[in-house]
Chains A and B, each alone.
Chain A
């Protein structure tokens, strides 16, 4: 009897699932699952990302698809919750999913365990596990455009430059205010390494999910007065931190956010109070004048098909969604060069494309991304493809770039990646991929 009711419900669920998915099975379309969060605590940041992502897919379709292959996509709401994300993954992967982009470090960790079995690649552009850069162990993960270790390294470099040299960091106090989740903890390993190397003092100040409760943290900051604060926040945590900084009287120009702590929703509410606050730009920042932004305004929003408000186009998180979608599409394009132009790529074939991305300046210019980002090229050993980042500063109205390009110091990061990836491989009893496997 117990199960009778269950079975009835299960049957209903199954029916609903089947009924919900008539479109994708038969059409010859490249299917992109879109994991989003348009509700919940992180929605203010999740929505512009999702809009940018979807708009780019629409834009590609408006331009005739990927070498003639139309794109289809379906959104699934994760609410930033890992178990919901897993459910979405299971729901959408069966439709010949090309690639998943979970937009949550927690979901990334869970899917990292599942993707190799299902042979679906995972792009985690600017988030996820740093050690997954090592493609010899993480065959299906692609932390394209940079990882948190790169981010933390660039921040230290920037601060060192401000101080007038790396040796001046000795004895300085840097506080890491971080979201208490895998996302926030990722940079700690690198910062500790750097603290040892450069002799600064690192204090770790966790903030619990979702990040609105920071009084105790800022009391500690008031006491210890660190020279710099690195802010590893997401969503409402960022604006709360800035408001607390205003209340504490901590100078905003000594605060440096990671690239997920440097978008319009984070500073808009604080307005002038956030003036001078810096954040990393994941290559791109706000790009209202870029060619791709103008094209999307014309070809997608201009035809009344835009997702979300028009004035959001070109903002930081919107651009990040756009870049993430572009990377997803370009990987497929690259895969078509090998497996047949104008064909629908499977996840496995797309994986090859992501592993052999060669987005040089010429291609980027042709795509309309001139000035938005630097070239990216991946390989079997390097699934990240680029270690460049720059900083931008909030002037009270908009984000402006305020630094040159930095390259994360691979002499520190590479051994760490190797060590972490080896540890992972040992735990999982995996062997490193052979050169022959790289050809596949």
Chain B
């Protein structure tokens, strides 16, 4: 068997605390990262970049952010689309109003603004939980929808309410071709995934999980609920805001509030649930499932010669059935299926 940890002994705390303690995992991950950075831009056609990889990467980032809040801290949020919108519009305003503003800084500032709004709307979480909180965050969604439709300042007085950006570049390198856009997003996603992974392994992440599992008990052992919940909201909204800015800047190029409506919030929540609550990898699985699968189904049904309307309906039906199927087979999401598979490989034939 190739995937065994026999003979891999850790002799230092450092070695024991690695993100991927097993050599094979590390090799595989580095291989995949190299593949994603070097090989994919060389071979992938434009359609793959623009229609699949870029949306997948950006929505993975948003799902990652939401997973921190919902999966790790247990605070259900339906305002993700709204926080994405805050990120996108804030980044837009920094970009067009400040002369010579670098794109990366604008996008990160979008994330910062989303953080502020996220924390504001996170304050109710100190008093209410569960479904009640979901409704409170829904208010964030409606509020941002309203604000970006109505307050003209946010859209730089655009008469139609639609904004656009162009001429993106990083240190003089233009971000124009699909491969450049893909690498730009990939850079963000890799860095943020690493940050997220390390955050959830740190004391902050542990306090989030303690809050999620039992807030009273967590408070008793000395975790401050205010701090834990608000940091979760802050980090989550920052990620989501950056993802929103990327969605507007890199993927769409021109957008209106409808790009971040309540459907987007639901879509992200489904990604997190299907991918796996409380799992970094699950965010990616969920994004892949929700972004890529409908497109594949769509292409398949059209290729099979159904007419457009029937194909669209079939896609919806098959997609819905698959969601139900996966949730029945593994309520803990795709990430759990994946880790069970790994356990099976390591502890054949009796995984636990």
Contacts and interface: CB of A to CB of B under 8 A. Distances in A.
A77 B312 contact: yes
Given A13-B52, A20-B300, A39-B312, A5 B254 contact: no
B258 A209 contact: yes
A14 B162 CA distance: 32
B46 A90 contact: yes
B197 to A, nearest CB: 10
B136 interface: no
B57 to A, nearest CB: 9
A376 B127 CA distance: 64
Interface stretch (A111-119, A262-270, A343-351, A355-363): A111-119
B50 A90 contact: yes
Contacts of B8: none
A3 B296 contact: no
Nearest to A38: B309
Contact of B303 (A19, A43, A117, A188): A19
21 contacts: A1-B338, A2-B32, A2-B280, A3-B36, A12-B296, A13-B52, A13-B292, A20-B303, A39-B309, A47-B309, A77-B311, A82-B256, A82-B259, A86-B51, A90-B47, A109-B162, A109-B164, A110-B254, A113-B166, A186-B160, A189-B159
Interface residues of A, number: 57
A357 to B, nearest CB: 26
A106 B167 contact: no
Interface stretch (B71-79, B99-107, B231-239, B281-289): B281-289
B149 A206 contact: yes
Contacts of B161: 181-182, 185
Contacts of B96: 427
A14 B48 CA distance: 7
Contacts of B52: 10, 13
Interface of B: 25, 28-29, 32-33, 35-36, 45-48, 50-53, 55-56, 96, 149, 159-162, 164, 166-167, 176, 193, 251-256, 258-259, 261, 280-281, 284-285, 288-289, 292-293, 295-296, 298-300, 302-303, 307-309, 311-313, 316, 334, 338, 342
A83 B311 contact: no
Q: Is the interface of B mostly helix, strand, loop or mixed?
A: helix
A12 B55 CA distance: 17
A77 B309 contact: yes
A164 interface: no
Interface of A: 1-7, 9-10, 12-14, 16-17, 19-21, 36, 38-39, 43, 47, 50, 74-77, 79, 82-83, 86-87, 90-91, 94, 105-106, 109-110, 112-114, 117, 129, 180-182, 185-186, 188-189, 206, 209, 420, 427-429
Nearest to B50: A90
Contact of B296 (A9, A38, A181): A9
Given A9-B296, A109-B256, 9 more contacts: A9-B289, A12-B296, A16-B296, A39-B312, A43-B309, A75-B307, A83-B55, A105-B160, A427-B96
B206 to A, nearest CB: 22
Nearest to A12: B296
A201 to B, nearest CB: 20
Contact of B48 (A10, A112, A113): A10
Contacts of B32: 1-4, 7
A105 B300 CA distance: 28
B162 A182 contact: yes
A173 to B, nearest CB: 22
B98 to A, nearest CB: 14
A374 to B, nearest CB: 27
A10 B53 contact: yes
A318 to B, nearest CB: 16
B51 A185 contact: no
Contacts of A86: 50-51, 251-252
Given A82-B259, A113-B164, A427-B166, A38 B299 contact: no
